[in-house]
Amino acid sequence: MIVFPNAKINIGLNITEKRSDGFHNIETIFYPISLSDILEINISDSKIKFENTGLTVENKKLENNLCYKAYEALNNNSKINPVEIHLHKIIPFGAGLGGGSADASFTLKALNLILKLSLDNETLMNYAEKIGSDCPFFILNKPAFATEKGNKLTPIELSLKGYFLVLIHPGIHVNTAKAYSKIKPNKPSESLSKLISQPIENWKELIKNDFESGIFKEYPEIENIKNKLYNSGAIYASMSGSGSAVYGIFRNKIDLKSEFKNHFIYTDLL
């Protein structure tokens, strides 16, 4: 079976408080986009195998691989057949796009189908949450308002259909834990769940990503990307998650390859 684990962008991200378990409570909007990896899973005759092409998965230890963790999550509950997993990696690492989380969740969904486990979405989401905070989002893979650690999801009516997305990744890997260490949590005066209903033309003044101030100081190049997107006519531009990918939403199709010729660039009609 071949599936296509897709990326997400964050529209706004407020870090509201530090939790007693060391994590942070947040509120953000997860929105799926079409940029995807390619994941092939087949039943194996012997033991579980994992192969990687495309962008190289840095940690070579199988037990640290998120696809393997997804397999083990199911296998630990009830023994399942070994499988061969081939991941062709396209979504950049350390970009705030949720690529690794998507790979894990799509592994769960694919195994559920291949092995005929008959698990419902709620059960799959419970497995996904044990792997990573934003993994549950990719089970339903629909726009959602996320709170707590990003694992509590409320479906929202949000469509960017007809807009044009330009996504830039400068090749900088942002460490999420380090990004959180630079943040002073603060509860916003108005919830992002209300602000998102405002016209997109108003988002620039209303919707922000708390990570940007600290990340921009350390990596001015990322802030320059955001400014270039606005200067090129973006209605709204933001860093996604803890970065370093930055996206711009445009009314019309635009070619910015010459502006960002040394960066990874992805465009999509939403």
Active-site residues: which are they?
8, 134
AA letter at 83: V
Helical spans, DSSP H, in 156-238: 176-181, 192-195, 203-206, 212-218, 220-231
Strand partners for 144 = 30, 155
Write down the residue that tokens 């009314």 correspond to.
251
* Spacing of C-alpha 156 from chain mean position: 17
Q: Find all residues with CB under 8 Å of 244, minimum gap 6, and list them.
A: 94, 95, 96, 169, 170, 172, 173, 174, 215, 219, 222
Query: Structure tokens of 62?
Result: 């199988």
First-to-last CA distance in the chain?
Answer: 26
Strand partners for 13 = 28, 209
Identify whether 46 is preceded by a cis peptide bond (ω within 30 of 0).
no
| Rounded-to-integer distance, Cα 137 and Cα 58, Å | 24
DSSP state of 67: H
As to burial, measured by CB atoms within 10 angstroms (0-12 exposed, 13-18 middle, 19+ buried), residue 162 is: exposed
Length of the chain: 270
Q: Phi and psi of 44, rounded to 5°?
A: -100, 155
Query: Structure tokens of 109?
Result: 């969904």
